[in-house]
Amino acid sequence: MSRHDLHCDLGRRLLFTCANAPRSRELRRILAPALLWLASLWAVSAPALAQAPVVEPNVDAVVQAGRWSEVEAGEGSYRVVVVGQGFEHVSTRVLAQWKADGGEDGQARIVHEAELVAPGNYSLTAPKLTTTASGVRVELRGVATYDSRRRVVCRFDLAPGGKVTVVRACGL
């Protein structure tokens, strides 16, 4: 058996094409449209994947609730972002954001941002947001970074215009 015959025989067994194999024409007829479809699907989805927003790996939670409205900034929703950091003593940074709805370009934007909890002292879980008459109440629960037996609860009220009221500070 020649080298070419061995190659064709192996190709038939593995369902690959071989020029003089009758089965190869049938396989090409079936596989060609499928491969073309897969290639076109990849070509269409690749740009969309490249444009997908990236969430930083240290973002632990993003919670959005309620609505706000301002004369100059328009209207939108409240959003709270929880960011974890550290190695041995993991702590949490919590940001409140006033996210405006998409404008003519369709892109939402952050019009106000306030740090509710600075990193270093507390390790907090995902926030609970409750709609109030004036905006949103944010409740955070967790533990002190250097003493995990010490539980903490923090509460903040968010109102239009980037206003934050501390209802209950984390350390109390």
pLDDT 10s digit of each residue in the chain, 172 long? 555 555 555 555 544 555 555 666 676 777 667 767 767 766 666 666 666 677 788 899 999 999 999 988 789 999 999 999 988 788 999 999 999 998 778 888 999 999 999 999 999 999 999 999 999 999 999 999 989 899 999 999 999 999 999 999 997 6
Among 68, 128, 71, CA closest to 99: 68
Shared domain for 47 and 63, answered yes or no, is no
User: Do 79 and 142 belong to one domain?
Assistant: yes
Which structural domain range is residue 72 located in?
Answer: 59-168
pTM: 0.68
Regarding whether 128 and 44 lie in a shared domain, the answer is no
Q: Same structural domain for residues 70 and 142?
A: yes
Q: Look at residue 44 in the predicted model and tell me its pLDDT.
A: 66
Give the span between the Cα atoms of 140 and 154, in whole angstroms. 5
The two three-digit tokens of residue 1, written as one number: 């058996």
Q: Are residues 149 and 87 in the same domain?
A: yes
Tokens of residue 40, six digits? 């076109």
